[in-house]
């Protein structure tokens, strides 16, 4: 059944819950417990984004061209008009990782920014986890996690925390632009649950992937097979600035629930295209808005205007908040000296 996304007024009660900076439940206790280890930080902390594996192959999957292989021009003026009819927001995260002799500490800053009356209204959520392979450390611990694969475990924790923030705070009847793929690694099941919950609130989730090494398209289309290094390489040559490709449908044959529709968009010349993913149910529910949705996406990329790092504006703003939020908590000092831990549960932005 088709759903409506235009003409809704924003629920003031839901809006009032934004503009917050939240520390994870037990945040202080977790840091205190890690601090008791007297950890030995052996490397400078690295700041970056969550790394989700995109190792999707065609061995146990299928890829189909939706409609025909074609270029679709985008209209930023229509996108601007549509931006005044809908509510939308962006999500991104930033991770700070400390490698120690005793294990790995991950601090993640999750950021959701909603756009209302031309204002950017953020909500942030900071989480901390410590993973170790030492049973001796874990047996006397309440919060420290035993892990054989810290990367895999941290991705699961990230996905749970991302879902917690988004499911409870995204404005109903809106569009949500999310950084990262929704099928990949061990987060797929979490992403599918997130999409289902967002659909219940009449939210359109749209996922953005940059710097991908995917080769699903070039391996499945005989006309271009062996001619390009990757799908990004193909789409860069296939598309002109201000165009997107047709959709492709990817389905995992082992688990058909893992299905997505995706296309490529090229906002500028001399910059890499991006892949945009949506769930088939998203397309079914909101098919009448798909053209306007992509015009909006192109418009928001032009408004951001960063050719060196092209992003849609809501995600770019969410990324800035995510990176700044981590700076507000001097985690390195807290890990080394738990007496410095502040008693913060929720802090208002600008408060």
CA atoms of 189 and 144, how far apart (whole Å): 24
Q: What is the pLDDT of residue 334?
A: 58
Side-chain half-sphere exposure of 338, counting CA atoms within 13 A = 13
CB atoms within 10 A of CB 27: 20
- Is 91 within 8 Å of 178 (Cβ atoms)? yes
Dihedrals φ, ψ of 105, to 5°? -105, 130
- Is 272 within 8 Å of 283 (Cβ atoms)? no
In the structure encoding, which two tokens stand for residue 185, read together? Answer: 């690694």
In the structure encoding, which two tokens stand for residue 340, read together? Answer: 């410095």
The residues, ordered by sequence, that sit 6+ positions from 347 with a Cβ below 8 Å of its Cβ are: 20, 21
Residue 216's Cβ-count burial label (10 Å; 0-12, 13-18, 19+) is: buried
Nearest one of 154, 187, 306, 247 to 178, comparing CA atoms: 187
Render pLDDT for 203-217 as a digit per residue (tens, 0 to 9). Answer: 999 999 988 888 999
Q: What is the pLDDT of residue 348?
A: 46
Q: What is the pLDDT of residue 330?
A: 65
CA-based R_g, the chain, Å: 21
Q: What is the pLDDT of residue 342?
A: 35
Q: What residue has token string 């988004």?
A: 166
Q: What is the pLDDT of residue 350?
A: 47
Q: What is the pLDDT of residue 57?
A: 61
- Is 259 within 8 Å of 182 (Cβ atoms)? no
CA atoms of 22 and 329, how far apart (whole Å): 12
In the structure encoding, which two tokens stand for residue 67, read together? Answer: 């409609």
Render pLDDT for 279-288 as a digit per residue (tens, 0 to 9). Answer: 999 999 999 9
As averages over each run of 10 residues, the pLDDT of the chain (351 residues) reads: 84 83 88 80 76 68 91 98 95 91 91 88 94 92 93 94 96 96 90 97 96 89 92 96 97 90 95 95 96 97 83 95 84 51 40 41
- Whole-model pTM: value is 0.91
């Amino acid at each position: 059944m088709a759903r409506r996304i235009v003409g809704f007024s924003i629920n003031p009660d839901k809006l009032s819950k934004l503009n917050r900076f939240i520390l994870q439940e037990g945040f202080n206790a977790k840091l205190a417990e890690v601090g008791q280890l007297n950890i030995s930080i052996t490397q400078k902390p690295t700041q970056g984004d969550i790394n989700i594996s995109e190792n999707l192959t065609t061995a146990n999957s299928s890829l189909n061209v939706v409609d025909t292989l074609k270029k679709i021009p985008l209209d930023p003026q229509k996108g601007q008009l549509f931006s005044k009819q809908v509510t939308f927001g962006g999500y991104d995260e930033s991770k700070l990782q400390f490698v120690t002799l005793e294990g790995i500490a991950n601090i993640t800053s999750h950021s959701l920014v909603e756009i209302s009356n031309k204002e950017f209204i953020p909500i942030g959520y900071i989480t901390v986890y410590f993973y170790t392979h030492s049973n001796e450390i874990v047996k006397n611990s309440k919060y420290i996690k035993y892990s054989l694969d810290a990367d895999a475990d941290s991705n699961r924790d990230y996905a749970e925390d991302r879902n917690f923030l988004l499911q409870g705070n995204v404005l109903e009847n809106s569009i949500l632009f999310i950084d990262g793929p929704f099928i990949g690694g061990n987060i797929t099941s979490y992403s599918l649950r997130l999409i289902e919950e967002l659909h219940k609130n009449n939210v359109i989730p749209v996922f953005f992937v940059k710097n991908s090494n995917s080769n699903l398209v070039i391996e499945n289309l005989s006309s271009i097979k062996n001619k390009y290094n990757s799908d990004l390489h193909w789409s860069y040559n296939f598309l002109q600035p201000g165009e997107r490709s047709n959709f492709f449908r990817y389905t995992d044959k082992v688990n058909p629930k893992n299905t997505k529709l995706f296309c490529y968009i090229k906002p500028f010349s001399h910059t890499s295209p991006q892949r945009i993913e949506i769930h088939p149910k998203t397309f079914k529910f909101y098919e009448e808005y798909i053209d306007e949705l992509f015009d909006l996406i192109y418009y928001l990329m032009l408004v951001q205007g960063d050719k060196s790092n092209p992003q849609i504006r809501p995600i770019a703003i969410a990324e800035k908040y995510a990176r700044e939020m981590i700076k507000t908590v001097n985690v390195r000092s807290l890990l080394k000296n738990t007496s410095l831990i502040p008693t913060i549960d929720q802090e208002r932005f600008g408060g």
